[in-house]
Copies of this chain bind each other. A is one copy, B any other.
Amino acid sequence: MTPLAELTTPALLLDVGVLERNCEAMAERAARHGVALRPHLKTAKSAEVARRATRGQGGGLTVSTVAEAAYFARRGFTDLTYAVGIDANKIEALHGIQRASGARITLLADRIDAVQAANSRARVLGATFRVLLEIDTGGGRGGVGPNDDELLSLAHEVQRSESLSLAGVLTHAGHSYHVQGGTAIRAVAEAERAGAVQAAGRLRAAGMPVDVVSVGSTPTAVCAQTLEGVTEMRPGVYTFFDLDQAARGICGVEDIALSVLATVIGHNPRSRRVLIDAGALALSKDQSAAEFRSGLGFGLVCHAGGTVPLPGLCVAELHQEHGLIACDGDGDGDDDGVQAMFRALPVGSRVRVLPHHACMTAAPYDRYHVVEGAGSGVQAVWDKACGWQAGA
């Protein structure tokens, strides 16, 4: 077991105990609602995480890039939903993945012209794909409205496409990330459910096959009161959680499984900052949680041995490879506070930073260093996908 002190920083730490607890809790929620759990692996991009997130489940995953599809297919995950509106130029790569691995990749579409373009490419290649119709239940990103006339014409277009078959409907309540509190999130969850079920009902009434009614986002998965009529949920960030979820009460800070290990490389008494070697690339500039809670800067700071935030400290500034930690009251001439911060974080010591948005922070790394509990060394190294190339 490698001590944390021997890792090269910045490094991405993942607490497997917290991860497994988060996975079990979400599996219980899915079971309670009687729906399948098809975790979104855009957050973790890791086969070892996928194994834990699909324990007791059908094994289906959600992915957001061709690179993730290739990565997971190569590691034995053969039921993949690619939950970004299909671009016909990606059909050849997706077909290659299906052929090499035996995987079944389900596509997403909300436009007749995109369906036609995808079908043309697939037909030339002799490929076949299942297609989910994307429903906009209020997120305002992709999708047709549950009541839109286009929904039926879109379904007919898929049904008459030689290389495509209709699998059902999918929606993502992305706006659940911008409301706080159980009541508000429950309302979004109900709009998400009701919209997807309504769209499914209209298709079925028109004689269309709708096997899948897929909803998902971590906030709505946690807060939904009923998922009646839904067949699967696709939360993702719950595997790791983060400050953004904690700021809205979706999880506690103690449920955050992901952190960035950094080294203290300097103290600047003039600017009253502690410098660490984790900057904007290592942490991301995401400050999602600031919508709901102040004082988080670009992340909370903990001693390397655990994930309990040091009171009054946060990463206040980011440069490309530098993070600058400040303490509360540093603008009020609180020299005692600054000196206490310098003493708590000597040069050469290690810290962990809890991120705002786990998906953004984890993305550029190519591996996780796996720990378990406070004071743990590195128990394992897990690979992960990164970037957009279907390489590794």
Contacts and interface: CB of A to CB of B under 8 A. Distances in A.
A54 to B, nearest CB: 21
Interface in A341-392: 346-348, 359-360, 363-367, 386-389, 391
Nearest to A321: B64
Interface stretch (A221-229, A247-255, A263-271, A306-314): A263-271
Interface in A128-153: 136, 140-143, 145
Contacts of A42: 320-321
Nearest to A112: B347
Kindly name the residue among A10, A87, A90, A141 whose own CB sees the greatest number of chain B CB atoms within 10 A: A87
A114 interface: yes
Interface string A1-21: 000011111110000000000
Contacts of A275: 85, 141-142
A286 interface: yes
Q: Is the interface of A mostly helix, strand, loop or mixed?
A: loop
A64 B143 CA distance: 42
Interface residues on A, range: 35 or more
Interface string A25-57: 000000000000000001000000000000000
Nearest to A118: B348
A6 B93 CA distance: 12
A211 interface: no
A294 interface: no
B347 A114 contact: yes
A117 B349 CA distance: 12
B348 A84 contact: no
B266 A110 contact: yes
Nearest to A65: B321
Contact of A111 (B64, B65, B267, B320): B267
B93 A360 contact: no
Contact of A360 (B7, B143, B285, B348): B285
Contacts of A270: 136, 140, 145
Contacts of A66: 8
The 7 closest A-B pairs by CB, nearest first: A140-B271, A85-B265, A87-B263, A64-B321, A85-B266, A364-B364, A285-B285
